[in-house]
Amino acid sequence: MNTEVNFAGIEMKNPVTVAAGTFGYGREYSNFFDLGKLGAIITKGTSLKPKSGNKPPRVYETPSGMLNSVGLQNPGVEFFASNDLPFLRKFDTKIIVNACGSSVEEYVELCKILNTLDIDGVELNLSCPNVKEGCMAFGNTYEGVKKVTSEVRKVLDKPLIVKLTPNVTDIASIAKGVEDGGADAVSLINTFLAMKIDINTRKPVLANITGGLSGPAIRPIAVRMVYEVSKAVNIPIMGLGGIMSGEDAIEFMLAGATTVSIGAGNFVDPYTSLKTIEGIENYMKKYNIENVTDIVGVVMGTEIFDNLINEDKK
């Protein structure tokens, strides 16, 4: 039984990673289990300079999910390189840095530095506001995604994964911009823009008013988006959005994801990622599957939906 996958040129012992912003830089979770059991670790979003993030309250639990508006708080790439990376390198797993910025130039400068570090890949977070473009998110348009991806590609030799926002009308066309920009893989989805109001105070529960919704509540939408993107691009996909078990992970892989990432599940149970790995192995044993990659994109009975997608493209 082989659980190894090659994702964007990164050789992983299994297809399970942890989502940026839900695992910090691994220190807290290392108190629970050996981080080397993970296929990869995706770090907290890291920027060129330190960021203090948004004002509290920044997190709120919702039915089958959670809202967060942390605001990419992080110590900056220099601190990461000197303090967090040496710690992560103690473990036998792949290290992928989630990179965030507020302009094309900032992304490029950050990735120039990341290109010199002992890491295995970069996940470009294109949900950050682009101040120079009227505070629009890079990930909202094909042109925006392609531009920043292609500029980063010029300075980054390491595997490049681009993480997309789901807050668009056509996720497949946005993912095509990732591929056309020269990325090695696409990661989806990030959180949905959402809001919660306290009816007693009549005020939003988050200081930032809105936040990102994650958790099992968004999983069916995430699976659909992974499926649509798998039909539109030829680069591998990392699927995420409410994965809590091996069964959830298998669903994403059947939809077309080569790897999966655990996000909000880490807050519910720190062992969620390990249980997901075990669940995938149990599924493989149950159905006598020799290689985990054999299940990628083999969802059956989708011909009608495929025809609808093709009609929309026309």
Cα 88 from Cα 36, distance rounded (Å): 9
Q: Which of 100, 111, 128, 135 is catalytic?
A: 128
Is the pLDDT at 157 greater than 70? The verdict is: yes
Q: What is the pTM of this model?
A: 0.94
User: What integer is the mean pLDDT of 111-127?
Assistant: 96
User: What integer is the mean pLDDT of 40-63?
Assistant: 96
Check residue 312 and give its pLDDT: 64
Output the CA–CA distances (angstroms, integers) from residue 285 to 5, 122, 143, 244, in the order listed.
Answer: 17, 33, 44, 20
DSSP alpha helix (H) spans, 34-118:
77-79, 85-88, 104-114
User: What integer is the mean pLDDT of 180-208?
Assistant: 97
Does the annotation mark 135 as catalytic?
no
What pLDDT digit, counting tens, does each position of 269-301 carry? 999 999 999 999 999 999 999 999 999 999 987
Check residue 131 and give its pLDDT: 37
Cα 235 from Cα 251, distance rounded (Å): 19
10-14, 20-24, 131-135, 229-233: the lowest-pLDDT one: 131-135
CATH of domain 5-53+72-193+214-313: 3.20.20.70
Q: What is the mean pLDDT of the chain?
A: 93
User: What integer is the mean pLDDT of 91-112?
Assistant: 96
Classify residue 120 by its DSSP letter: S
Is the pLDDT at 137 greater than 70? The verdict is: no
CB 181 within 8 A of CB 150: yes
**The total number of residues written for the chain in this structure:** 314
| Domain residue spans of the chain | 5-53+72-193+214-313
Phi–psi pair at 149, nearest 5 degrees = -65, -45
Is the pLDDT at 40 greater than 70? The verdict is: yes
Structure tokens at 56: 């509290």
